[in-house]
Structure 1
Amino acid sequence: MPIIALIIIGAAAGFIATRMMKLETDVLTTVAIGVFGALIGGFALRFLITITGWMAGFVGAVLGALLLIWLWKAYTSPPK
């Protein structure tokens, strides 16, 4: 069950993060960004803030996905 929850929360977080960063991706990439962002953000948020519950995980997932998109854009985009 935790894997399914991670995928669902990751998909939602990836969708929100890609829209906030104005990134056009397919569904699989959006879910992957959200899931990996959830892992990154979840670990960071749980380490830094002692908030419990699913809302903290969701906020961490969105923040992690935003960080991942920012890193992706910073290191894969050609210079302007």
Structure 2
Amino acid sequence: MNLLYLIVIGAVAGYLATRIMHIKADPLKTIAIGIAGALIGGFILQVVLTIAGVLGGIIGAVLGAILLIWIYQTVTAKKK
């Protein structure tokens, strides 16, 4: 099923890419372009999402630490 899915998505992606780039290619080349593009695009997207995930984790950790410091300062200020 995955192979069929990859071929169908590759064919559609290849067709759209060849039309956008104004390239004439036979159906086999169009499918090959689409499959290769899907693999390359998937890899690039995975790298970008990983980087975004790490940055999101850092931002979340900093915001959490800021909140914790604010709570600590608020609690200790009332005790003085």
Cα RMSD for the two superposed structures:
1.1
| TM-score of the two chains, using structure 2 as the length reference | 0.59
Taking only the aligned residue pairs, the percentage that are identical comes to 54
Q: Which has the larger radius of gyration?
A: 2
The one of the two structures with greater contact order (alpha-carbon pairs below 8 A, sep at least 6) is: 1
Query: Runs ≥4 in structure 1, deviation > 6 angstroms?
Result: none
Higher helix share: 2
Q: What TM-score results when the alignment is normalised by the length of structure 1?
A: 0.59
CA shift digits 1:9-68 (9 cap, x unpaired): 010000000000000010000000000111111111122136xxxxxxxxxxxxxxxxxx
Gaps of 5+ in 1: 51-80
Number of residue pairs matched? 50
Partner of 2:13: 13
- Structure 2's unaligned 5+ residue stretches are 51-80
